[in-house]
Structure 1
């Protein structure tokens, strides 16, 4: 038996480091499918039941979440981390993948640091989007101007993609 960690252990370790201890097992259960890059052989994507949970960025070795991954984290991980809650009037824009401005932020995890991967939710806690924090959690709540989260993917975009593939 070798001491070399397998791919599942590797991705769980990265998730624990990035999102908090214990998140790796909850985000990536035993039945995940790990896709490797054809060119480099490195881990690229992680799927569960044909839905992409996350992509491992080769530039920094951290995950970029998809909507399905963010929903798993918000559902299974308590206490929740790395979240941003937005006002009702901003919901449709954020869900379509538009950036979150500081004036629309109701609340945010105070542990957020700039450039971290965050989940954007509505007032009821429903996942709207995933993206990268531009401000710290404290700054998001205090500032009234500027971009708080650069959204990469919104839930409305996911629904649109699924309907396009079904047609």
Structure 2
């Protein structure tokens, strides 16, 4: 797949999607970076930074799935607790986060939102997809509240 510089229209599309999915501050933070893209069927599919894929555009709902690096950019450019789920750091996370492990979460998270999972020490643990609203996460007990897409701690150990 050919990686290219985005033109003005493609940058506008990326900014619009990020503004809708997150907010204007996060969108501007990404747009200021030296992003590259690759296309599929004439549409943006992947977004790259320094040769690494940081976002994938889902064709089903036109939202971005995130890499760990994209999660770090979001954390640096948003105020606590936006887009975050804070969890206990004494648990080895694999495929999902249970409600019993949640310490805090962005109350405005909706099911299906991309979220950054961080420890109570502020360290990034992974990226995931919310399964329940943020305001319900702590009360879900042993129910799944976030499904991991990427887990940083497991990558370090391999």
Give the structure-2-normalised TM-score. 0.88
Matches within 5 A, 1:1-167: 6-37=9-40, 40-90=41-91, 92-93=92-93, 97-159=94-156
Within 1, Cα distance between the matches of 2:8 and 2:109? 29
Within 2, Cα distance between the matches of 1:86 and 1:21? 26
Q: Post-superposition shift, 1:143?
A: 2.0
Within 2, Cα distance between the matches of 1:80 and 1:55? 24
- Whether the 8 Å contact between 1:132 and 1:150 is mirrored in structure 2 is yes
Within 2, Cα distance between the matches of 1:5 and 1:130? 29
* Equivalent residue pairs, number: 152
Return structure 1 stretches of 4+ with deviation > 2 angstroms. Answer: 27-30, 76-80, 156-160
Alpha-carbon RMSD? 1.9
Q: Which ranges of structure 2 fall in alignment gaps of 5 or more residues?
A: 1-6
Relative to total residues, which structure has the larger helix share, 1 or 2? 1
Q: Which ranges of structure 1 fall in alignment gaps of 5 or more residues?
A: none
